[in-house]
Amino acid sequence: ATGLPQFMPTTARRLGTTVEALGRMSAVAQMAWVELYLSRQQKAVGSLKKAYQLAMAVFYPVAAKWESPYREFPSDVQAANPGIRTPADYVALMNRGARLPDEVSV
């Protein structure tokens, strides 16, 4: 994964760039690619208005469509991400590592 958005090579190619090009860009320039990625995700999954929907658009896009942030991930996803059973768990972890003035609610 490369740059601010931490895009993998396949994701970068789907957007029309490369991880090498992203790596040479400033953080501000990379934000245009983040915006493009999220706009495509929003078209694919629908609303990204709730924190869990936005987080899932990046972490596990299928879950961005789930009606509840408390629905459990499949066992293989849980096994690969210890302590993360639900989108709500992921948002809680995200909040612990964030430098935001207030927590983002699920």
Q: Cα(72)–Cα(12) distance, rounded to whole angstroms?
A: 29
Q: What is the pTM of this model?
A: 0.77
Q: Is the pLDDT of residue 60 over 60?
A: yes
Tell me what pLDDT residue 1 has.
Answer: 87
| Residue 91: how many other CB atoms lie within 10 Å | 25
Q: Is the pLDDT of residue 38 over 70?
A: yes
Angle between helix 87-97 and 51-59 (nearest 10): 90
Contact, 55 vs 90, CB < 8 A?
Answer: yes
Cα 69 to Cα 38, 40, 52, distances in angstroms: 19, 21, 6
Mean pLDDT of 8-36: 94
Q: Cα(39)–Cα(20) distance, rounded to whole angstroms?
A: 22
